[in-house]
Amino acid sequence: MSKFSSVGRHKIVVLTGSGISAESGLQTFRNHGGLWDGEKIDDIATPEAFERHPERVLEFYNRLRRKLLRAQPNTAHLALKNLETRYNVNIITQNVDDLHERAGSSHVLHLHGELLKARSSVDENYIVDCFSDQTLEDKDNHGFQMRPHIVWFGETVPMIDSAIQLMRCADIVIIVGTSLQVYPAAGLFHYAARSAEIFLVDPQPLEGLQNIQIIRASAQAGVRGLVDELLLRTEA
């Protein structure tokens, strides 16, 4: 790993996925068999599923929310916060939890929504905090059904353009906890400048990745080591 050689290279963009939250005890978004926390994706993570059986969908996210409220940020989340002492850091996360925020990270962009928020099923701009169970009695200010503030399969990813702009400005990109198989998030690192350094923290990375420095380690071990090295660069 080379020393930090240019004064201008100080912007870091971190792309995180479910693997970083799994080390805090939260279920990964998609595991073997296409399940999420024991449920089929098509049964709980599509607009059609919400239309067919809204109570089942709400109870699924209620269960996840209860688990999230008991979880704590791990050392990978905390290490990424420490990067802010020397770098301009933006985190783009595919996760719907708030563990980055609770660790203290200042700039977090959620691609797939936020579990601790709810939104109108009609007006996507009507969003409120949600720290308890949702029910069918929850309505927006016009009487329309509220739903989890989650980007479901088949829906557009409203924050993707903002994420692309952040990636284009990055001097260093860190990818951690994501399989790089769920699009459009998986393609974000392709928008980084050719001069940008790209690091992937993954114990079992995909084969054939080009121009990426691979760190074969768990999220916590890999991120801690990389952050230590990046902080040392600024002292050279």
Q: Do residues 20 and 77 make contact, with C-beta atoms less than 8 angstroms apart?
A: yes
The single-letter code of the amino acid at 152 is W
Is 112 designated active site?
yes
Read off the amino acid at residue 153. F
| Whether 187 contacts 163, CB under 8 Å | no
Choosing from 107, 112, 149, 190, which is the catalytic residue?
112
The whole-angstrom separation of Cα 59 and Cα 55 is 6
Three-class SS of residue 187? helix
Q: Look up residue 224 and give its two tokens.
A: 């801690």
User: Can you give the length of the chain in residues?
Assistant: 236
> Residue with structure tokens 């100080």?
10
Strand partners, 35: 31, 40
Q: What are phi and psi of 118, to 5 degrees?
A: -130, 155
Catalytic residues: 112
